[in-house]
């Protein structure tokens, strides 16, 4: 009996084995009923049987085996894709979902071989069946990861939103305590609260910006006519107040006037300078060189210290990553690892670019910004 016919005639025992295996995938399957454990398994089986009965070229078979089969014409999702979404929402992990397909492949072939004793002429059915399973698995994995990514982004968005109200209460209370001038100990405690609140605010801002980029919204910019000489100087004054023991130099040459979002560029500069302070040589200055020419402005943030390895430079702007060769002076980390990523996204939102280079003498982060940029809302 051909494998497609066997699947159609023996769907129930195949589904029984699927259900029994799915029930072992704990803890997600602990309280699931039969219908949930069998979720879309019958539709997946029918699709595979139909695929086996369809004439296909060798090229079409290969494309299917690597997950590039044509999309169905009569449905927005395949059964495998819908199955993946429901498994993700039910709390299964991706390894458990992949294991279902491995178990399905093994059980179908085992039942077929035991019942029908296929001959060498049926070998093509085995190959075609494996390709169909691989296609269904590829569809499921793609949709599963997309669902997990969406859920994570929603969680980050809600977390960032819900934490702002209690943080604002902390900041207002600490400012009130500082204004009371009720003695040295109270003033010191209030100052610590204010600094901690500012760090938490920066983390939340980074989290919100990261979430926007992962949702495909990008960094929001509101360009206005600004003079970067003033914008950069104001931001460096604030950083110097936070790090009074660190020498931070600003060198300006050329015309720095243009159309940018000044607050966003202050955020970009802050991320780069704080990164330079964190990883640069403790007793060496951080230098900011800003140069304007006819078409663009270039900002270089320079620090001395150990060279950054090539492998780290390759991924230094990736989110939530740090190179193993990047050690802070204290060894402690107080950020999410998003500063350089957000700096890059701010530069991109201004249609600019950012790059990093490093050797034994210095590390330089260079930002190039065209003089005019349209608001994201204008697109």
Segment 116-154, tens digit of pLDDT: 888 877 788 888 898 889 888 988 998 888 887 777 766
DSSP 113-135: HHHH---GGGHHHHHHHHHHHHH
Is 286 a member of any domain?
Answer: yes
Give the start-end residues of each E strand in the chain: 224-227, 248-253, 257-260, 286-292, 296-303, 353-358, 363-370
Look at strands 248-253 and 286-292 and give their pairing: parallel
pLDDT at residue 191 in the model: 75
Contacting residues for 148 by C-beta, under 8 A, at least 6 apart: 88, 94
Whether residue 26 is found in the same domain as residue 55: yes
Choose one of 195, 214, 233: the last residue of a domain: 214
Whether residue 323 is found in the same domain as residue 276: yes
pLDDT single digits (tens) 184-218: 777 777 777 777 777 677 667 777 777 667 656 67
- Domain tally, the chain: 3
pLDDT at residue 217 in the model: 63
Phi and psi at 300, nearest 5°, equal: -115, 125
How far apart (Å, rounded) are the C-alpha atoms in residues 237 and 367? 20
Contacting residues for 107 by C-beta, under 8 A, at least 6 apart: 14, 17, 18, 21
Is 140 a member of any domain?
Answer: yes
Q: Is 193 exposed, middle or buried (0-12, 13-18, 19+ CB in 10 A)?
A: middle
38, 19 in Cβ contact below 8 A? yes
pLDDT at 332 over 50: no
Whether residue 340 is found in the same domain as residue 240: yes
Is 219 a member of any domain?
Answer: no
- Taking alpha carbons only, the member of 292, 309, 291 closest to residue 300 is 291
**Window from 6-10, 58-62, 250-254 with minimum mean pLDDT:** 58-62
Percent of all residues in the chain with a pLDDT value above 90, rounded to a whole number? 36
pLDDT at 378 over 50: no
More confident residue, 372 or 174: 174
How far apart (Å, rounded) are the C-alpha atoms in residues 228 and 211? 28
Is 187 a member of any domain?
Answer: yes
Whether residue 146 is found in the same domain as residue 177: no
Contacting residues for 24 by C-beta, under 8 A, at least 6 apart: none
- Buried residues in 29-45 as b, exposed as e (16+ CB within 10 A): beebeeeebebbbeebb
- CATH number assigned to the domain comprising residue 323: 3.30.565.10
pLDDT at residue 171 in the model: 76
pLDDT at residue 326 in the model: 57
Whether residue 52 is found in the same domain as residue 112: yes
Choose one of 110, 131, 153: the last residue of a domain: 153
Is 288 a member of any domain?
Answer: yes
- Identify the residue whose tokens are 């780290």: 312
**Window from 32-36, 187-191, 209-213, 284-288 with minimum mean pLDDT:** 209-213
Total residue length of the chain: 379
Whether residue 7 is found in the same domain as residue 145: yes
Q: Name the band, by pLDDT with cuts 50, 70 and 90, for residue 369.
A: very high
pLDDT at residue 330 in the model: 47
Q: Measured in Å, how far apart are the chain's first and last C-alpha atoms?
A: 60
How far apart (Å, rounded) are the C-alpha atoms in residues 295 and 318? 28
Whether residue 304 is found in the same domain as residue 187: no
pLDDT at residue 375 in the model: 42
Choose one of 112, 127, 153: the last residue of a domain: 153
How far apart (Å, rounded) are the C-alpha atoms in residues 361 and 347? 26
Phi and psi at 18, nearest 5°, equal: -60, -50
pLDDT at 280 over 70: yes
pLDDT at 90 over 90: no
305, 284 in Cβ contact below 8 A? yes
Whether residue 83 is found in the same domain as residue 123: yes
Whether residue 189 is found in the same domain as residue 306: no
78, 43 in Cβ contact below 8 A? no
Whether residue 205 is found in the same domain as residue 248: no
**Window from 51-65, 96-110, 224-238, 289-303 with minimum mean pLDDT:** 51-65
- Taking alpha carbons only, the member of 80, 40, 76, 75 closest to residue 64 is 80
Contacting residues for 151 by C-beta, under 8 A, at least 6 apart: 88
How far apart (Å, rounded) are the C-alpha atoms in residues 267 and 313? 21
Whether residue 166 is found in the same domain as residue 149: no
Rg, Å, the chain Cα set? 29
- Residue 34 domain boundaries: 3-153
pLDDT at residue 327 in the model: 56
pLDDT at 96 over 80: yes
Element (H, E) at 102: helix 94-116
Look at strands 257-260 and 248-253 and give their pairing: unpaired
Q: Which long-range contacts (CB under 8 A, 24 or more apart) does 66-70 make?
A: 66/134, 66/138, 67/134, 67/135, 67/137, 67/138, 67/139, 67/142, 69/135
**Structure-block tokens of residue 80:** 């495998």
Whether residue 39 is found in the same domain as residue 74: yes
User: pTM to 2 decimals?
Assistant: 0.54
**Window from 83-97, 164-178, 236-250 with minimum mean pLDDT:** 164-178
pLDDT at residue 372 in the model: 67
pLDDT at residue 59 in the model: 82
pLDDT at residue 159 in the model: 65
């Amino acid at each position: 009996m051909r494998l497609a016919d066997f699947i159609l005639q023996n769907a129930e025992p195949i589904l029984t084995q699927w259900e029994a295996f799915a029930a072992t995938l704990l803890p997600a399957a602990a309280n699931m009923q039969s219908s949930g454990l069998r979720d879309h398994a019958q539709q997946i089986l029918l699709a595979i049987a139909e695929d086996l009965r369809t004439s296909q070229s060798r090229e079409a078979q290969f494309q299917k085996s690597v997950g590039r089969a044509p999309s169905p014409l009569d449905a927005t999702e395949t059964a495998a894709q819908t199955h993946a979404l429901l498994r993700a929402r039910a709390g299964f992990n991706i390894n458990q979902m992949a294991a279902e397909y491995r178990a399905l492949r093994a059980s179908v072939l085992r039942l077929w071989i035991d019942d029908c004793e296929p001959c060498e002429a049926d070998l093509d059915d085995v190959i075609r069946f494996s390709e169909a399973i691989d296609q269904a698995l590829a569809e499921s994995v793609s949709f599963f990861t997309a669902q997990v990514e969406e859920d994570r982004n929603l969680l980050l968005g809600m977390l960032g939103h819900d934490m702002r109200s209690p943080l604002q209460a902390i900041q207002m209370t600490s400012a009130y305590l500082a204004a009371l001038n009720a003695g040295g100990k109270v003033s010191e405690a209030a100052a610590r609260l204010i600094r901690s609140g500012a760090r938490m605010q920066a983390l939340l801002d980074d989290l919100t910006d990261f979430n926007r980029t992962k949702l495909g919204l990008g960094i929001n910019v509101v360009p206005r006519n600004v003079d970067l000489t003033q914008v950069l100087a104001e931001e460096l004054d604030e950083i110097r107040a936070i790090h009074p023991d660190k020498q931070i130099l600003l060198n300006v040459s050329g015309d720095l006037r243009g159309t940018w979002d000044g607050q966003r560029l202050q955020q970009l500069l802050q991320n780069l300078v704080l990164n330079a302070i964190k990883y640069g040589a403790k007793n060496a200055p951080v230098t900011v060189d800003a140069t304007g020419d006819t078409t663009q402005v270039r900002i270089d943030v320079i620090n001395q210290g150990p060279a950054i390895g090539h492998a780290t430079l390759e991924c230094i702007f990736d989110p939530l990553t740090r190179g193993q060769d990047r050690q802070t002076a204290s060894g402690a980390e107080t950020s999410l690892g998003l500063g350089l990523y957000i700096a890059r996204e701010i530069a991109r939102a201004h249609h600019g670019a950012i790059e990093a280079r490093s050797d034994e003498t210095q590390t330089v982060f260079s930002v190039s910004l065209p003089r005019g940029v349209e608001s994201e809302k204008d697109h």
